[in-house]
Structure 1
Amino acid sequence: MTLDRLAPALFVLLWSTGWIVAKYASPHADPLTFLSWRFTLAASLFFILTIVSRAAWPSTRAGWLHAVASGVLLHGLYLGGVWWAIDQGVPASVSGLIAALQPLLTALAAPFIVGERLTAMQRLGILLGFAGLSVAIVPGLLELDPAMLQTALIPLLVNVTAMGSVALGTIYQKRYLQEGDLRAIAGLQYVGGFLVVMPLAFLIEPMTIVWNLQSVLAMAWSVLGLSLVSIMLLLYLIRRGQVSRAASLTYLVPPAVAIESWFLFGEALTLPMVIGTLIVVFGVWLTNRKVRVIV
């Protein structure tokens, strides 16, 4: 099986564990402080890999700046915003629904920024993905206390902004970073993420992190499984295919998290979640299947 076929499924599996590791780490660390450590370790690891393997750094100043700027969007504003919003009380189901809007926003923006055009089947796949995710999540939203949503207005707006940031970051990556070694680019992107979360952590958090077995394991998986392997897969997918196709994989993440939470924590896996997941899978297949794209 080729990497082109394996990469999407592996990316979804790894990326979905980010929600699980956040649950393990949250009792022991402030979210932006945890991310500051994670980005520092990830950047250091990529820099070591780049030097040891003698990979090429960007050859121009613009290349360095584009790599850092994409990290601001993909890591700093996106992960920082989502983790902070959840820490402030945004329910995971609401955050997942907001994140699911990314493929639609990416597909709408891509034609204007990178000249992509989607086929009718790809458009249908994106809409089916959103519909399936709605089937899986909306019943849970209807059960929420309205007062809870009112008190979480600012965190909700931050979460929406974070979703917009990762959509823009995906397109930015496709537009400006089609060349260059992915190891060097990824390391510089984590520098960009650090430049966002560290100052914010200093300003708004007590910067608490308790190092114990649970937090160390959470950090190790965040750096190795998420920041190293899954991000390299995402950058690979963006470079090899359409940004809208790569973004459509986001639809699979919340259902995957639901299944993992059911298995690991005994959380309920309802019939709407199962039905919605099947619709999501079909929608993602339509969006990602090999077709001739009209440009």
Structure 2
Amino acid sequence: MTRYIPILFVFLWSTGFIGAKLGLPFAEPYTFLFIRMTITSAILLVVLLVLKKSWPSSWKLSSHVALSGVLIHCGYLGGVFTAIKLGMPSGLAALIAGLQPLLTAFAAQPVLGEKVKPVQWLGLSLGLAGIVLVLSEKLDLASNNLFDGFGPWAVVAAFFAVLSITASSLYQKKYCTDMPLMSGTFIQYCAAALLYSIAAVSFETMAVQWTGQFIFALFWLIFMPSFGAISLLMWMIKQGEASKVASLFYMVPPVTALEAFFLFDETLGLAALIGMAVASLGVWMAVKK
């Protein structure tokens, strides 16, 4: 059954971009994420108490876990939600986030001492080439903003998200492999909720339109990406090399693009389809034994 975990992870993770696009018309990004993290933390605390799960063995480990949570839940999610709020299509946000495996592979050698084989480098390169092909259809060279519908700050936010999740993956692998999965995840969400509360109060109005679409998006994000995908990600990082786990993110952009096509009528041209195939081949080459 464990062989299907990467497939499930890719699907659940990709729906995070879709959920963001569904919910952000009704709430500002930090407010949206503060509500999401707070409810997630409360539910997880109840589960922890009922199941009597263990906690991190030291305050030092807990602090490492909290920092890794801030990197992934605030740096990554905050960057993605900000980019989408500023007008970036969910598919494009996923494409930029898909650059993470290449950054992780470069950094895994000096930080973790992991050796990346030549065939993995080739796979990672093919994955990057596939993303560039898909991205090429989103370019609008005639526009002053380079992309249609959003400006440079959306791009900055998206790339900040990539750097944050890369740092989180490496930090998690280096300092947090001994954390109890459930209680460690709770600490990560609490740290993120605290930081989002400060950001929302400082920079946003915290106004929310509690429509049916927003509530659906909120609880989908809580139970699918937050509980499902994040738990699978932490498990895979703990079990495998960071560069191999990161290569799974190459599959997220094409899956997100397909979901966006069916849900939001975002069209897919020939270059995008070829890019998906190339990215899939790259993932296979990077993770195969």
Shared fold per TM-score greater than 0.5: yes
> Is 2:269 the counterpart of 1:266?
no
Q: 1:26 aligns to what SS in structure 2? A: helix
Deviates more, 1:229-238 or 1:48-57: 48-57
Deviates more, 1:43-52 or 1:274-283: 43-52
User: 1:197 matched to which residue of 2?
Assistant: 196
> Is 2:160 the counterpart of 1:161?
yes
User: 2:129 matched to which residue of 1?
Assistant: 131
User: 1:59 matched to which residue of 2?
Assistant: 57
Structure 2 portions without partners, runs of 5+:
none
The Cα shift of 1:92 comes to 4.1
The Cα shift of 1:83 comes to 0.7
Deviations 1:206-248 (A, max 9, x none): 1111212211111111110110011111111111101111111
AA aligned opposite 1:75: H
Q: 1:56 aligns to what SS in structure 2? A: coil
- The within-5 A match list for 1:178-217 is 178-217=177-216
The Cα shift of 1:78 comes to 1.1
The Cα shift of 1:159 comes to 2.3
AA aligned opposite 1:251: Y
Structure 2: distance between partners of 1:144 and 1:178: 48
Structure 1: distance between partners of 2:115 and 2:247: 15
Structure 2: distance between partners of 1:196 and 1:69: 11
Structure 2: distance between partners of 1:238 and 1:204: 34
- Of 4, 7, 10, which aligns to 1:9? 7
> Is 2:97 the counterpart of 1:95?
no
User: 1:225 matched to which residue of 2?
Assistant: 224
The Cα shift of 1:146 comes to 2.6
The Cα shift of 1:90 comes to 3.6
Structure 1: distance between partners of 2:76 and 2:262: 27
Q: 1:57 aligns to what SS in structure 2? A: coil
CA contact (8 A) 2:124 2:286 kept: yes
Q: 2:18 aligns to what SS in structure 1? A: helix
The Cα shift of 1:177 comes to 1.1
- Structure 2 CA distance for partners of 1:149 and 1:203, relative to 1, 3 Å: farther
AA aligned opposite 1:220: F
CA contact (8 A) 1:130 1:280 kept: yes
Structure 2: distance between partners of 1:92 and 1:54: 38
Structure 2: distance between partners of 1:25 and 1:34: 8
Structure 1: distance between partners of 2:142 and 2:73: 29
The Cα shift of 1:93 comes to 5.2
Structure 2: distance between partners of 1:96 and 1:143: 21
User: 1:251 matched to which residue of 2?
Assistant: 250
CA contact (8 A) 2:29 2:82 kept: yes
CA contact (8 A) 1:93 1:141 kept: no
TM-score by length of 1: 0.92
CA contact (8 A) 1:252 1:280 kept: yes
User: 1:293 matched to which residue of 2?
Assistant: none
AA aligned opposite 2:39: L
Structure 1: distance between partners of 2:91 and 2:10: 17
Count of matched residue pairs: 288
- The within-5 A match list for 1:83-122 is 83-92=81-90, 94-122=92-120
AA aligned opposite 2:128: F
Structure 2: distance between partners of 1:9 and 1:155: 29
- The within-5 A match list for 1:64-75 is 64-75=62-73
Q: 2:81 aligns to what SS in structure 1? A: helix
User: 2:282 matched to which residue of 1?
Assistant: 283
TM-score by length of 2: 0.94
Structure 2: distance between partners of 1:99 and 1:167: 10
Structure 2: distance between partners of 1:67 and 1:195: 14
> Is 2:37 the counterpart of 1:39?
yes
Deviates more, 1:149-158 or 1:43-52: 149-158
The Cα shift of 1:86 comes to 2.1
The Cα shift of 1:157 comes to 2.1
Structure 1 portions without partners, runs of 5+:
291-295
User: 1:147 matched to which residue of 2?
Assistant: 145
The Cα shift of 1:139 comes to 2.5
Structure 2: distance between partners of 1:97 and 1:225: 20
- Structure 2 CA distance for partners of 1:90 and 1:215, relative to 1, 3 Å: closer
The Cα shift of 1:147 comes to 3.3
AA aligned opposite 1:235: M
Structure 2: distance between partners of 1:125 and 1:277: 13
